[in-house]
Amino acid sequence: MFLLRRRDAPWEVVDTKEVQPVPTFYDDEDVNIVSLSENETRGTYVFELHKLRGKDANSVDWRKALVFARQRLLEEVQKRDYNCLLIEGWCITVLRRGKQHRLQIEYNGRGALANGKLESRDPPFIELLGAA
């Protein structure tokens, strides 16, 4: 006897925002890059959104999720003895299936070992997500 599996509805893409990888340090900053990772590090992070009212209703949650994704990627490069991300980029995709909403963040960056004062930074172009 065969039991047919109930087919789940697919996730529908509601919105997407993307920032191509950009440099995060410039020549005028007092940071000395000692070594650079040969490869880019990527991470994909998925968050469930429970209350989605308006288009900008969750921009604060999106910003928090993006900052969290950056911190997690930075932890990954620190495991490889790097202390900063020299190049960073991200893509946020909002998905919907019925009344469920999901936020998927793909964050990428190239790790580097830097000397000098490293200040805490936000993800590049986080302003695309609206006001905090």
Reported confidence tier of residue 3, pLDDT bands at 50, 70, 90: low
In this predicted structure, what is the pLDDT of residue 56?
Answer: 47
Reported confidence tier of residue 130, pLDDT bands at 50, 70, 90: confident
Domain boundaries, the chain: 12-129
Q: What's the per-residue H, E or C state across the chain?
A: CCCCCCCCCCCEEEEEEEEEEEECCCCCCCEEEEEECCCCEEEEEEEEECCCCCCCCCHHHHHHHHHHHHHHHHHHHHCCCCCEEEEEEEEEEEEEECCEEEEEEEEEEEEEEEEECCCCCCCCCHHHHCCC
Looking at residues 100-123, what average pLDDT do you find? 91
Q: What is the pTM of this model?
A: 0.83
